[in-house]
Chains A and B, each alone.
Chain A
Amino acid sequence: MSMQGLMERQQHGRLDLMAQVRKGEFAAAVESAAVAYGPFPVLYAKNGYVLGTGSLIQRPELMFVAGGRAVPAAQAWIDEIPDPICAEAGLAVYRVRMEEEQLMQADVFAEEKGLEDALIFFRLGLSLHVMDKSQAHLQNRESDNLPTIQQPAVKMSYSEFLIHFHTVLSQYREGAVEGEGAELSFYPHLHRHIDQGMRHLLTLMGGHGYLRTGILHVGYLSDLILNLYGSEGYPS
């Protein structure tokens, strides 16, 4: 496959991932992303943590990727950190320790970049999920004799979100802007915009959003992913 062909395939893969997360299929999205970049399922073990699913972690051919290296999951020391909110979303977080001698040198740079990209698109998908859910909620509500969705303040919140969303997508497509440290700032910049956009959505469902059926749980997942895998420089 040509380089351009590969890039197009990856781009499609990321958009598919975002669409799957948008539909609320969080676990399925993690599982599809894990098998999207090579012959073996791969999970990102940056910072010693892995976000995965119960079934993925049991697959004997699973590999962990971190710091340009890969190690078979079977050789790593894995410990689940219980979290009810992840569990409800079908996800699980694991503490992972890989011994130095067990690590095998592998040319996995492309996969690692792919995984960084997947995080961006997973979080974008989460924000779209929140947008859809809040829209569905507000569609049937009224305030001051106007559908709540038509209230200027609500429209402003959606616009603010869309500005950040569009910024992330267009920056991603263009790559890092030129200048000193641009490469290092690339992912932190995208994550920051995702956070800022999400913030405009999370209050739209009022107290309903705080319930288990609401959207703040999704905001929690988005923050958790960033906390586990946070790019160098953000949050700091």
Chain B
Amino acid sequence: MMTQEELAELHMIVYDFAREMRTVALHLDQHPEAISDYLHLGGVQAMTYLMIPPEYAKHPPITLNSGRSCCGMSCMERVIALEAFGYGDCGMVLAAPGASLSGQVVLDMASDAQKEMYYSALLEKPTWTFFALTEPLKGSDATQIHSTMQKEEEGGLRINGEKYLIGNGTRAEIGVVFVRSNPGPLGMEAVLIDTSKPGYTAKHLPALGVHALQLSEIRFEDYQVSEERILARHLRPTQRGIWGAIQTFNKMRPGVAALALGLSQAVYDYILKNRKSFTEAEKAKLSALDYEVRSVRHIIRKAAGEIDRNPNNGALSSVAKVQAVKLAESITCEAFSFFGPGSMLEHPFLNKWYRDARAFEFMEGTSSIQKLNIAKSFLSGKIRYA
């Protein structure tokens, strides 16, 4: 586990990357394909190799003064890094090549051979990945997957179905898709996908913000896959499929909250930097916003610590995500009142942050889903206060 000093150093390193990312954030928002021109940036390089375990990576993406390497393997490391990255540009973070969500599934569920294949692809060159769970008709309800994987008479397997709102779907070369092989909760499987094979198509879905992410609709039409591509075959049936998705969401949710927090901090600092003086009422409002930012940071770090101790306990990370999303949405609106009429268009960063902030609600489960998680944890006794 990293010490407080090491975490602070990690934050500062990523913060330097973030400042560089900010300088091209608006251009990338307008030209999402330009991400390929920014692969040389320190932040993008770090994202490209984050979440690749040290036993596979020759060079860690970030090395601290103590010589300790940081690969983003713990939730705490990720929230520290992602908050700083979100401060720079969450669009670029989400659009960067690298393991991202699918990496967490591979880490938890892949066999050694599958890991070797997946990480080799990521290390060979900057490679985009995808994580495909959501379907057009079922939204966040992960148990209601309709996409199928069926055995063929002549051997092998065939995947058919549609996935929706998938980040980087059009540029990914490799990814993980959740499909149904049998009815019931244990009939779900996670499968490694090579997008160059026939039967995979992806279409870009234009969205309000985070344009760089290139949200996509993915279709599998008679996509052939071998049994070796199915994840978690070496694990118990209860640890496959949907279990992997839930674990991944639990572990990655504080990261989404941290991105939202980074964006909120960026908005707050923008207000301070771009206004010369403040009225007493504005000072009071700023003070309340500052407190809110610090408070959400505290919750996120608590949640990350809890996830590192017990990934099954996702209640606190749900609390963190709900609060961080609420903060990002409210601060991006509040900011306009500091700059007066027309500020929504006259301040391109505030406009971008407003649009980007509204994406967090839909990542790794909506606030409604999080609230159900919290209630479930409370009723099952996982949340106790005394």
Question: Could you tell me which A residues sit within 8 Å of B by CB distance?
Answer: 46-49, 81, 83, 85, 93, 95, 140-141, 143, 153, 203, 206-208, 210-212, 214, 216-217, 219-220, 223-224, 227-230, 235-236
Contact = CB atoms under 8 A, between A and B. Distances in A.
B343 interface: yes
Nearest to A195: B333
Contacts of B118: none
Given A49-B341, A93-B345, A228-B342, A203 B368 contact: yes
Given A210-B208, A211-B215, A217-B208, A227 B361 contact: no
B358 interface: yes
A212 B209 CA distance: 9
Contacts of B144: 143
A207 B333 contact: no
A233 to B, nearest CB: 11
B367 A95 contact: no
B134 to A, nearest CB: 7
Given A203-B366, A211-B215, A235-B333, A224 B139 contact: no
Q: Please indicate which of the listed interface residues A46, A203, A212, A229 has the most CB atoms of chain B within 10 Å of its own CB.
A: A203
B137 A227 contact: no
The 4 closest A-B pairs by CB, nearest first: A47-B341, A207-B362, A227-B344, A212-B206
A230 B361 CA distance: 26
A40 B355 CA distance: 36
A210 B207 contact: yes
B333 A228 contact: no
A153 B372 CA distance: 11
Contacts, number: 89
Contacts of B341: 46-49, 227-230
Contacts of A224: 344-345
Given A48-B342, A206-B139, A227-B343, A212 B207 contact: yes
A216 B220 CA distance: 29
Nearest to A88: B206
Given A216-B358, A220-B208, A206 B344 contact: no
Nearest to A49: B342
Contacts of B333: 223, 235
A153 B206 contact: no
Contacts of A47: 340-342
Interface in B201-233: 205-209, 215
Interface residues of B, number: 36
B355 A81 contact: no
Nearest to A224: B344
B346 interface: yes
B69 to A, nearest CB: 35
Contacts of B342: 47-49, 81, 95, 227-228
A235 B362 contact: no
Contacts of A143: 138-139, 141, 144
Q: Please indicate which of the listed interface residues A93, A206, A216 has the most CB atoms of chain B within 10 Å of its own CB.
A: A206
A137 to B, nearest CB: 10
Contacts of B206: 211-212
A85 B358 CA distance: 15
B243 interface: no
Contacts of B208: 85, 210-212, 214, 216-217, 220
Nearest to B361: A203
Nearest to B208: A216
B337 A236 contact: yes
Nearest to B134: A207
Interface string B350-377: 0000110011011000111000000000
Contacts of A214: 208
Interface in B100-151: 134, 137-141, 144
Contacts of B140: 206
A45 to B, nearest CB: 11
Nearest to A205: B139
Contacts of B343: 227
A140 B139 CA distance: 13
Given A143-B138, A207-B164, A212-B208, 20 more contacts: A49-B342, A85-B208, A141-B139, A203-B366, A206-B366, A207-B139, A208-B164, A210-B362, A212-B206, A214-B208, A216-B208, A217-B208, A220-B208, A223-B333, A227-B341, A227-B343, A227-B344, A235-B334, A235-B337, A236-B337
Given A47-B342, A229-B341, A206 B355 contact: no
Contacts of B15: none
A29 B281 CA distance: 37
Contacts of A206: 139-140, 362, 366
